[in-house]
Structure 1
Amino acid sequence: MIIGIPKEIKTDEFRVGITPSGVRELCKRGHTLLVEANAGVGSGFFDEEYVEAGASIIATPEEVYSSSEMVMKVKEPIEVEYARLKEGQILFTYLHLAADKELTEVLCQKRITALAYETLKIGRRLPLLEPMSEIAGRMATLFGAVHLGRYNGGSGRLLGGAVGVERNRVVILGAGVAGKSAADAAAGLGAEVTMLDINTERLTYLRDVMPANVTMLYSTHDSILNSIKNADLVVGTVLLPGAKAPKLVTKEMLSDMKKGSVIVDVSIDQGGCFETSHATTHSHPTFEIDGIVHYCVANMPGMYPRTSTIALTNATMPYASMIASTPLHLLLADEVYRGALNTYNGMVTNEAVALAHGMTYKADV
């Protein structure tokens, strides 16, 4: 199969869909790789490395898209890329369609076979979301701590405190991969950490493996409200695979929070779990509402593209190889790939996406 790797053009996005090492593995399996010129530079991978691995360097994104049967990316296509998508093409990337009706409609109109990293599921795991969730979770604590600084609009509290000074409090909504990573980082800095989730099995497991300064609570409206009242940093990592994130903290609830505290919404790709959230960029990462600093960068791992690209390629490679090597009707008979499928032959094939946009859902393909 001919696989195209375009350069990512979303604001402040420096990751790339595959490393030269990943290219080499796919070429060994008989596939043709077309990489847009300078696509990997932001991640520290140069054209000559891709050529050495077996890829052809293509001058323009239009040629990459038009010549490829399958396109591998990191982020969802943005408006300027819609026209480049070729009818009937396979698209393998993060899509987050529940938060983007326009893109959903474009993929249907162009009859794109869209397979989303974030809805590919094995058991209860989301293996293609996990590496980015781990990175984003750690970043949430680190950047939350930075924005608690007075010069960044925060309360001026050092996360973890100091000798003779009380510890600061971190509340984490969601106890998945991102939530645990955020908690690990916050606990390591010495903060008092509270994690909230509705999965009691997960909370029990984390109670047994997390340090003593991490507390587990069952997530309800009241437990969230009581927790955020005294929080210095609140991290939202809630995920409903393929669906919009639930709004767990309303604008009204902000009035109960301490002025100068910080919210980090890791769930912003799926619409965010704070009612007051809207997507921001690394260039302009924060805004303030009612005295609360909001950090809502929609591509957080893009801050560390080298690490993120390598981690993502490690995760996606086996699935990309299978997609490129298997006839589509056989591929989609596998429930793993069927779960990753979001649009196919002009229809929405993910129920949560269809529900989010009031579109028709097609269960069978």
Structure 2
Amino acid sequence: MRIGVPTEIKNHEYRVGLAPAAARELVHHGHEVLVQAGAGLGIGAADADYAAAGAKLLPDAAAVFAKAEMIVKVKEPQLAECRMLKPGQVLFTYLHLAPDPEQAEALMASGCTAIAYETVTAAGGSLPLLAPMSEVAGRMSIQAGAHHLEKAQGGRGVLLGGTPGVQPGKVVILGGGVAGTNAAHVAVGVGADVTILEKSLARIRHLDEVFNGRVRTVYSTVDAVETLVSTADLVIGSVLIPGASAPKLITRALLKKMLPGSVVVDIAIDQGGCLETSRATTHDAPTFVEEGVIHYCVANMPGAVARTSTMALNNATLPYALALADKGWKTALADDAGLKDGLNVHAGKITFKAVAEALRREADYRAADACLA
């Protein structure tokens, strides 16, 4: 199979779909890897590194899209990229379609087969291709929040770890999944006062065992969210419903009760955000203020640590990319129900039910199983 790797063009996105080592593995399996010149510069990978791995360098994205049978990316295709996709071509990347009707429309119009990293599942319903970036975003959320709590950034002037004789900052984490757990690890590490709200009792018990009393766990209710968020210095929004829009746990009314200069880092922004007031921001302008509360809503947080993120992502995506290339997408999906869960768009139809419902495009829904017939 011919596998294409274009340069990412989202604002300050430095990751790349395949690092040289991953490209070499695909070449080793007998596939042809086509890489846009300069695609790996953001992670310190020169064109010569890709050439040494056996990949072929192409001058621009148009050439990559024109020749490749499968496109491997990191972030969702921008509209200009969607217009280069074609029927029968496989797209393997993050999509996050629920809050993005324009992208969904463009992918449907292209006729491509789009497989989303974020909805691929593994045993027990885990999300193996979302997990590595959730780990990175969770860890980054605390350093981003701590920075914007500084008075010079407009924050409350609170040091999360406190000092001897001064109480530490209060961190409230909405959702105890992968991102929330990683946020808690860093917050505990800097000495903050940390509380995690979670709905799954099994997960609450797990978190209690993992943190051994260093973190408070609270069953998430409307009352608990309101009580804890209104007194927090830093709130981390890390709730997730796979493929669907994130629930709005913080309303504008609750925002008005929060401490002036407090900070919210909305990791759920890729799925629309978990605040009523959230809107996607970029690394160029990462924050905005609503009701006196600083909102950090960067939609590609891990792009700032591109080398670490690319390596972590490739570790997870490479086995699936190999399966798609070795077997073809239909056989690969038929053989792996978890990979089949990643199918979001095929031949003009939406194939993931939660996405169709979020976009109110139920009439355009077609079950993934039907696409394999």
Same fold (TM over 0.5): yes
Matched residue SS, 1:297: coil
Contact 1:88–1:110 under 8 Å retained in 2: no
Question: Does the Cα contact within 8 Å between 1:4 and 1:72 map onto a contact in 2?
Answer: yes
Q: Assess if the C-alpha contact under 8 Å between 2:83 and 2:106 holds in 1.
A: no
Alignment of 1:299-314 (within 5 A): 299-314=300-315
Q: Could you tell me how far apart the structure 2 residues matched to 1:75 and 1:329 are?
A: 23
Q: Which moved more, 1:246-255 or 1:100-109?
A: 100-109
Equivalent in the alignment of 2:9: 9
Contact 2:4/2:70 (CA < 8 Å) preserved in 1?
yes
1:294-329 CA-to-partner distances (Å, cap 9, x unmatched) read 000000000100100111111100000001111333
On the 8 A contact 2:82/2:110 being kept in 1, the answer is no
Aligned residue for 2:341, secondary structure, equals: helix
What residue number does 2:224 align with? 223
Q: Does 1:232 align with 2:233?
A: yes
Q: State the AA in 1 paired with 2:53.
A: A
Alignment of 1:260 onto 2:250: no
Structure 2: gaps spanning 5 or more residues: none
Offset of 1:211 from its aligned partner?
4.4
Structure 2 residue matching 1:114: 3-state secondary structure = strand
What corresponds to 2:270 in structure 1? Answer: 269
Does the 8 Å contact 2:288/2:295 carry over to 1? Answer: yes
Q: In structure 2, how many angstroms separate the alpha carbons of the residues matched to 1:328 and 1:288?
A: 44
Query: Is the alpha carbon distance of 1:79 and 1:328 closer, same or farther for their aligned partners in structure 2, counting shifts above 3 Å?
Result: closer
Task: Indicate which of 320, 338, 358 corresponds to 1:336.
Answer: 338
- Deviations along 1:215-272, whole A, 9 cap, x unmatched? 0011111110000111000000111111110100001101111111000000000000
1:109 matched residue in structure 2: 109
Aligned to 1:151: 152
Aligned to 2:87: 87
Alpha carbons 1:191, 1:213 under 8 Å: kept: no
Residue identity in the other structure for 2:316: A
* Code of the aligned partner of 1:106: A
Output the CA distance in 1 between the equivalents of 2:86 and 2:110.
Answer: 7
| 1:69 aligned partner, one-letter code | E
The alpha carbon displacement at 1:213 in A equals 3.0
Which position in structure 2 is the counterpart of 1:353?
355
C-alpha separation between the residues in 2 aligned to 1:146 and 1:265? 15
CA distance in 2, matches of 1:230, 1:160: 17
Kindly state the Cα deviation for residue 346 of structure 1 after the two structures are TM-superposed. Answer: 1.6
Q: Map 1:37-48; keep pairs closer than 5 Å.
A: 37-48=37-48
Q: Could you state the TM-score of these two structures normalised by the residue count of structure 1? A: 0.98
SS of 1:175 mapped into structure 2: coil
The amino acid that maps onto 1:331 is A
Q: Which shows bigger deviation, 209-218 or 163-172?
A: 209-218
Question: What's the CA shift string for 1:306-355, capped at 9, x where partnerless?
Answer: 10011111110000000111133322323112100001122110001100
Once the two structures are superposed, residues 95-144 of structure 1 have per-residue CA deviations (whole angstroms, 9 ceiling, x without a partner) of 00111111111211221110000000012211111110001001001110
Q: Which residue of 1 aligns with 2:52?
A: 52
Deviations 1:174-221 (A, max 9, x none): 101100000011111111111011111011011011143310011111
- After TM superposition, the structure 1 stretch with the greater mean CA deviation from structure 2, 8-17 or 326-335, is 326-335
Matched residue of 2:98: which SS?
helix
C-alpha contact 1:187 1:211 (8 A) present in aligned 2: no
When normalised by structure 2's length, the TM-score is 0.96
Rounded to whole Å, the distance in 2 between the matches of 1:346 and 1:276 is 32
Q: How far off is 1:87 after superposition?
A: 2.1
Q: CA–CA distance in 2 between the matches of 1:60 and 1:68? A: 13
Asked if the contact 2:250–2:274 (Cα under 8 Å) also holds between the matched residues in 1, the reply is yes
1:362 Cα deviation (Å)?
A: 1.1
**Alpha-carbon distance in structure 2 between the residues aligned to 1:258 and 1:106:** 41
Distance (Å, rounded) in 2 between the aligned partners of 1:192 and 1:135: 21
2:291 matched residue in structure 1? 290
SS of 1:332's equivalent? helix
Q: Distance in 1 between matches of 2:247 and 2:283?
A: 24
The letter of the residue matching 1:196 is L
Between the aligned partners of 2:48 and 2:212, the Cα distance in structure 1 is: 46
Q: Which runs of 4+ in 1 moved over 6 A?
A: none
Please, what is the CA RMSD of the aligned residues? Answer: 0.9
Letter in 2 for 1:103: Q
* Structure 1 residue identity aligned to 2:242: P
- Distance (Å, rounded) in 2 between the aligned partners of 1:285 and 1:34: 33
Q: What is the number of equivalent residue pairs in this alignment?
A: 365
Contact kept in structure 2, 1:170 and 1:234, CA below 8 Å: yes
Shift in Å at residue 361 of structure 1?
Answer: 1.6
CA distance in 2, matches of 1:142, 1:158: 11
**1:294 match: secondary structure:** strand
Tell me the alpha carbon deviations over residues 24-52 of structure 1, each in whole angstroms, 9 at most, x when there is no partner.
10000000000000000011111000000
Mapped partners of 1:284, 1:111: distance in 2: 34
Q: 1:85: Cα distance to partner? A: 1.1
What SS class does the counterpart of residue 35 from structure 1 fall into? strand
